[in-house]
Structure 1
């Protein structure tokens, strides 16, 4: 039986400069790895937060090719870590839209999994308005990844609001939720939803986030978190760039599932 896994989530306030974002991400990943993390996760769109929604189209890469993916692969290999990309823009059949894609890399730098965000966020209240479908093409499948160190359920940001999505993953050790929650929706719902997903699925949740005021004027909620399968927040960073670190204890997963075997009580 696996014993434990040191993990880290990176929080950023990404800018409109790819080079600047990659440099900052590289420094934060190095900080996490130097502190002992073996699995590191970046936030949604760690590589770019443009001044308008369509700016990301210019940076969209084909799977397996491009400077963002080269950075991720080489960084995982350099630090001998498992690495989640958070999300990056990949090309789609529609030239006006991209996939919002999470990639997982092993310690050799090999990409071992891909997940395209399924649920696309929209919100309108007063002067605040968002509609991801204008520039993003939705994925169509859930994705779990069973690795030698941890069994993962992949999701991105707005997926968090759909509990049936996580049920479809099956039983996993760790759910990843890289995000760029708005300040408004994050303040109201972020922690509640993350803790609910951990409790319902009796697993750890690692949620790397964007957290601060970006060059485009958007304010993201931040509060990157690691939550245990009982719903306890183990570590949190409210705002600004930094690292949230912690440990997945596989004995804790077993303890929670044995004491309250709700996963085996499901009838639907």
Structure 2
């Protein structure tokens, strides 16, 4: 049987890790109650904190992180794969923006550190310099995850700003990943302009499902995120999309649709090497 239910937990994380943890647990339980076998939470599930000193005071190394421990127990108890979209994890004097994929037995299947850091100046005056605090990863990761009666499938793990780098997702598609991801805390401005079209493009280009849980609304630390958790099928059709409010977004997906889309448009097999001639300079 290739049909399963997948779900996103839309959140509005605060500066309180305990409150965020409880919200994530409640969301995963609600998704499991709705029949989901794969549940994803957003980027920065456990904490949204712009003050660097406060951030370092509240975060821990991976082995000591209470949110990871709590969600491992929930995954085991409910028998679902839980994809923690990301958490701030202490790595020496910097921080990793780390995704953690947990199997239905509670074991950690894979971790991924966000490769592309959001260092931008937006037209509305917002300035973001993730590299001041975070250290970028250097490994692309496919998690081999048990998905109920559908069996095991490859999940291409990415985070937020990574969605703007199609070569990362192409590598996942060429390696056979059936589900692509980008759990996010997109700004409202950029989300309104680009979020859905980027999600649909990554799905279409690779003939894969795209699943992304999102932060939404005005947060305690002052930022405003777009929300709109989204699930897209391999043909680019939006199966489910939320709004800026926290909540569950779920859809039934048929993993056989991946092979069908790749058969109809076999672009993953048609890539050819080329030489670039000329340039802006």
Bin for the TM-score computed over the shorter chain: over 0.9
Aligned to 1:130: 128
* Equivalent residues in 2 for 1:1-268, closer than 5 Å: 3-93=2-92, 95=93, 97-125=94-122, 126-148=124-146, 149-169=152-172, 170-268=175-273
Aligned-residue CA RMSD (Å): 1.4
* Secondary structure of residue in 2 paired with 1:76: helix
Query: C-alpha separation between the residues in 2 aligned to 1:267 and 1:184?
Result: 36
Normalization by structure 2: what TM-score? 0.90
* Secondary structure of residue in 2 paired with 1:87: strand
Contact 2:81/2:145 (8 A) holds in 1: no
* Secondary structure of residue in 2 paired with 1:217: coil
Normalization by structure 1: what TM-score? 0.95
Query: C-alpha separation between the residues in 1 aligned to 2:157 and 2:21?
Result: 22
Q: Tell me how far 1:53 sits from its aligned partner.
A: 4.4
Aligned pair count?
265
Query: C-alpha separation between the residues in 1 aligned to 2:86 and 2:208?
Result: 22
* Secondary structure of residue in 1 paired with 2:167: helix
User: Any stretches of 5+ residues in structure 2 without a counterpart?
Assistant: 147-151, 274-281
CA gap 1:54/1:228 in 2 versus in 1, 3 angstroms: farther
